[in-house]
Structure 1
Amino acid sequence: MRILLFGGTGHIGRAIAAEALTRGHQITAATRTGATDAPLDQRITLVIGDAADSAAVARLSAGHDAVASAIRTSSEGAEEPSPTVAAAQGLVEGLRAADVRRLVCVGDSGTLEVEPGLRMIDSPDLAPQFHDVATTAARALAVYQQAEDLDWIYVSPPGYPFADCGHTGRYHVGEHLLVNADGSIRVSVEDYAAAFIDQVETGKFSHCQITVEY
């Protein structure tokens, strides 16, 4: 598959790109500046493109089988729309223009349900310092939820930091926060990336949010 990956130079984006390469996929990584803090695998094509710019998304997406976004959720400043929401809008509009239907996005755990009808963002257990980011993520997710014509999926890690256990190949997928018997919620970035690429490849889930957990 030919995959266009926004945010491909970040921590999660690099793991997703590495997993995709092991499966023989072609990766184009898009960043706003075309720069990266550390060298990328030589098999990755690095291009300049802002996910909030729908015209750039359409131009770069053309000819790809799927588009992925590993853009970090942020809520900095009072800018409207926030960079995260603007990126969601740009991705949706750009993919429509390019006639690319498959969109797989890294999500945020704050939008997951902890029990039926109760999202983490609405739970008293969510630490106050995470509320703004979770609110921004919920607004971005709402943009995808309105894109009924796209084959989108929002893949949320269960929380941070990622577990330090490498690639185990063992994980569970669910549509609400998955908590272990000991109360832990975790997954390694390598296994998260494997689950993410599974969704790019198979399209098993669509028009929903899922999470990945041990």
Structure 2
Amino acid sequence: MNLLIFGASGATGRALVAAALAQGHRVRAFVRTPGKLAFSHERLNIVVGNVADRHAVESAIAGHDAVFSCLGVGVPLKHDPDVIAGVGHIVDAMRRTGPSRLIYQSFLGVRESRTQLGPLLGGIIVPLMLRHEVADHEAKEGLIARSGLDWTIVRPPKLGNGPASGQFRHGNDIRATSLLPTLSRADVAAFMLAQVSDTTYSRKAVSLLR
């Protein structure tokens, strides 16, 4: 398949690029800082641009089978209106030119999923320390949910490094079993990649937990 990944130079984006290439897909990586990607492959095409630039986003999207977003905030713990605008540009371009399949990496703690994190993370840390990032994710999720596209929103907990283990749960009736649940970026990337051809969570948000 021909896959387009926004936020490909971030930690989860890099894991997603690596997983997609390993499975034989052709990947176009949309990045603002190409030096952070540090990948070279015959099936990898790197596009340098800013998601806040509507024309750059539109020119990158056509001709792909699915689009992924691993976009993060520019400054941790801060509101980032450019990324919210960028997700709007992605949605608008996909509605005009296709494809229809969009997989978006959000965060476990957004909207109704907050109760799945338990009292410490869900009740204290998220609403106090992560309120700006959560509010941004909620705004972006709203744009996606109203888009009419074939979307899946993936909500992992705190992300860590390490190889994919495959040892995690997914669904919306699961609960954290530790005070600070974490999941490897490689596991998140593998799950996101599997959603291209899996319709289980089509037009749904899904939580991931070990």
Q: TM-score, normalised by structure 2?
A: 0.85
* Pair 1:122–1:135, CA change in 2 (3 A): farther
Partner of 1:99: 98
Partner of 1:173: 170
* Pair 1:38–1:27, CA change in 2 (3 A): closer
1:84 correspondence with 2:87: no
The percentage of aligned residue pairs carrying the same residue is: 24
Cα drift, residue 63 of structure 1: 1.0
Name the structure where helix makes up a greater proportion of residues.
2
Cα drift, residue 78 of structure 1: 9.4
Counting only pairs closer than 5 Å after superposition, residues 4-153 of structure 1 correspond to structure 2 as 4-32=4-32, 35-37=34-36, 39-43=38-42, 44-73=44-73, 82-112=81-111, 113-115=113-115, 123-124=123-124, 126=126, 128-147=128-147, 149-153=148-152
For residue 133 of structure 1, give the secondary structure of its aligned residue in structure 2: helix
* Pair 1:78–1:185, CA change in 2 (3 A): closer
**Given that residues 10 and 37 in structure 2 are in contact (C-alpha distance below 8 angstroms), is that contact kept between their aligned partners in structure 1?**
no
* Pair 1:25–1:114, CA change in 2 (3 A): same
Q: Distance in 2 between matches of 1:54 and 1:172?
A: 36
1:213 correspondence with 2:209: yes
- Paired amino acid for 2:100: R
**Given that residues 158 and 180 in structure 2 are in contact (C-alpha distance below 8 angstroms), is that contact kept between their aligned partners in structure 1?**
no
1:26-73 deviations in Å (ceiling 9; x for gaps): 11101235x223521323210123333333323211111011111114
- Structure 1 portions without partners, runs of 5+: none
1:71-109 deviations in Å (ceiling 9; x for gaps): 114578998x81221111111001112121001111122
User: Please, which moves more after superposition, 53-62 or 23-32?
Assistant: 53-62
- Paired amino acid for 1:96: R
- Paired amino acid for 2:182: R
Cα drift, residue 176 of structure 1: 5.7
Q: Distance in 1 between matches of 2:136 and 2:74?
A: 7
**Given that residues 51 and 83 in structure 2 are in contact (C-alpha distance below 8 angstroms), is that contact kept between their aligned partners in structure 1?**
no
* Pair 1:77–1:169, CA change in 2 (3 A): closer
* Pair 1:199–1:188, CA change in 2 (3 A): same
Partner of 1:188: 184
